A and B are shown apart, each in its own frame.
Chain A
Amino acid sequence: MALEESISEEAAEELARNETPARRSGLSEFWYYFSENRGAVAGLVVFALLVLVAILAPLLAPHDPNIQFDNAQLLPPAWTSGGEWRFFLGTDAVGRDIFSRLIYGSRFSLFIGIVVVAIALLGGVTVGLIAGYVRGWLDTLIMRIMDVILAFPSLLLALVLVAVLGPGLVNAMIAIAIVLQPHFVRLTRAAVIGEIDREYVISARVAGASPFYLMTRTLLPNCLGPVIVQAALSFSNAILDAAALGFLGMGAQPPTPEWGTMLAESREFILKAWWAVTFPGLAILVTVLAINLMGDGLRDALDPKLKRS
């Protein structure tokens, strides 16, 4: 009919040739949006430096973090009167070099962040996928449990869990992971519910995909955007919570050079030796700030609703 006359085979082929793929590929598009956010790039740089410091700690640290120097207790930083250049940021109450302890402490902070986020992510995404896919009473049950966990102040719940499990860095990490997990469950579930009725999911079902295949291969890759952002922000939360637990004596135990524990050890000298609390505090602040900035940039780059184009 009219359709046949309006366009011949050749013209159709010509049209097909002129349809050009014009959009950026995934990674370069990600970098394009990420690099527009200067704070995010700064955060990434600081975070990369931190990772380098943690890896190269034995090379960078001037002293062993646990060696106590005689007659060098509570020395002020090098540039103030009474300071010594071999202890750049001063020493603590038992004569350990604060600079070296901070460098080694970055290892603990990163380790805590990675392990906590890995546990929370794995558990949260699995539970969230199941809840969003299955729905019904199982979904209701899971979400009510998550609501209960969220209803507690996170640090209080972590404290209770550590009190049950016993103090120590590993138990503190498990407790923090449990506290952070509901966020991942809710995010994943919401993303799954948003995607599950899309045509490509139905198309996979018509092609014969099993529920397990649908959840892990079809749905999961399309739900990861917000989860990655949450993981980045949880990373800083984990470091902060671990430092808080360390400060309260429930996390890493002395003489571990963990930043929160260092704060706790120096608390009684806060008026006499400001440097012993200031530098660990600053380290926590800079790390958390950098990771949060990076997380914001990630969200901007991965959230399609914010994209301008």
Chain B
Amino acid sequence: MSEHVLEARDLARFYETSSGAFAKPATVRALDGASFDLEAGRTLAIVGESGCGKSTLARVLTMIEPPSRGELTIDGRTVSGKADPKLRQAIQIVFQNPFGSLNPRQKIGAILEEPLKLNTDVKARERKRRGLAMLERVGLRAEHYERYPHMFSGGQRQRIAIARALMLQPRVLVLDEPVSALDVSIQAQVLNILNDLQEEFGLAYVFISHDLSVVRHIADEILIMYLGRVVEHGSAKEVFAHPTHPYTAALLSATPVADPTREKNRIPLTGELPSPLDPPPGCPFNPRCWKAQADCTRAFPPDTGEAGHFAACYHPLAENETTA
């Protein structure tokens, strides 16, 4: 076991919403009790449908927002309210939309050098050298250094965003749906670059996605989320082979497989995703779950399963039940 570069314990993030002067303010539990560890050089995929708290988790991990509860340790340093430049440099983020994440008034060179300028005393010449090296590392040429973001395509911009995030040599890179805004062909190209960079720098990735075929390709570990809760957590191989939480099984059965001879046994789900303002009691999945019983509405289920692969479920699927 190598060191943990990221340790999250019971992270939660609540938002207060007010719906008028006389209404009682409501609390949205966007993220409720996420715990995991991540080692250097490994990829943790966070999977779930829209509104399940994936992006909130990304914002909490990158210290854009403080957690409402829980503890976060990055590279051995515990996150507190105080600004800590070392901590700041240890974790960086790449956003989903490459058209919004680059400052339209800055040249690519300035975009790449900015993190160094803000955090280190590196001289201008050295900054430029490192910027150029990183630009080439992500497959762009030196002549692109003096251009503006609007002159690049989505895939190129996403690579620039990745290069910028790596300028501070972080230990952890949070990738918030980094390829879902790109064409499939460009996705492969960006994913390959991410793979190479991970090997080269020993980066730990938190890879947020709803695209299971991408996740299967890149993840070492998987965290499945539903309505702000972690419902299943385990190694990618295990989770894909033997999902134990019914939601995971349904999610996996919904991914298209490029094999026409394979028989489809898709698990159809009924009902809508409940409002996070008013989540169902007990297990949040119980109104849509085909295995739900009376005890499912009592309280949030405890983790079951052996070390390295557990699900928060009272009635987990047995191994022979899952054929995904």
A6 near B152: Cβ-Cβ < 8 Å: no
* Min C-beta distance of A58 to chain B, whole Å: 41
B153 beta carbon closer than 8 Å to chain A? yes
Q: How far is the CA of A54 from the CA of B83 in the complex (A)?
A: 54
A145 beta carbon closer than 8 Å to chain B? no
Q: How large is the interface on A (under 10, 10 to 19, 20 to 34, 35 or more residues)?
A: 20 to 34
B169 beta carbon closer than 8 Å to chain A? no
Chain A residues near B102 (CB, 8 Å)?
A: 200, 203
Q: How far is the CA of A213 from the CA of B153 in the complex (A)?
A: 28
Q: How far is the CA of A296 from the CA of B115 in the complex (A)?
A: 38
Known pairs A21-B152, A199-B101, A203-B164; A3 contacts B187 (CB<8 A): yes
Chain A residues near B85 (CB, 8 Å)?
A: 208
A199 near B185: Cβ-Cβ < 8 Å: no
* Min C-beta distance of A54 to chain B, whole Å: 32
* Min C-beta distance of B162 to chain A, whole Å: 12
Q: How far is the CA of A268 from the CA of B99 in the complex (A)?
A: 63
A13 near B139: Cβ-Cβ < 8 Å: yes
Chain B residues near A210 (CB, 8 Å)?
A: 118
* Residue in B88, B89, B93, B188 with the greatest tally of chain A CB atoms within 10 Å: B188
Q: How far is the CA of A244 from the CA of B295 in the complex (A)?
A: 81
* Min C-beta distance of B241 to chain A, whole Å: 14
Known pairs A3-B184, A206-B92; A21 contacts B151 (CB<8 A): yes
Q: Residue-by-residue, is B196-237 near A (CB-CB < 8 Å gives 1, otherwise 0)? A: 000000000000000001101100000000000000000000
B64 beta carbon closer than 8 Å to chain A? yes
A255 beta carbon closer than 8 Å to chain B? no
Q: How far is the CA of A199 from the CA of B97 in the complex (A)?
A: 8
Q: How far is the CA of A9 from the CA of B152 in the complex (A)?
A: 20
A204 near B156: Cβ-Cβ < 8 Å: no
B186 near A15: Cβ-Cβ < 8 Å: yes
B168 beta carbon closer than 8 Å to chain A? yes
A199 near B151: Cβ-Cβ < 8 Å: no
A221 near B105: Cβ-Cβ < 8 Å: yes
B18 beta carbon closer than 8 Å to chain A? no
Contact surface of B with A, Cβ cutoff 8 Å: 62-64, 85, 88-89, 92-93, 95, 97, 100-105, 114-115, 118-119, 139, 147-148, 150-153, 155-156, 161, 164, 168, 184-189, 191-192, 213-214, 216-217, 258
Contact surface of A with B, Cβ cutoff 8 Å: 1-4, 6-7, 9, 11-13, 15-16, 19, 21-23, 25-26, 198-200, 202-210, 213, 218, 221-222
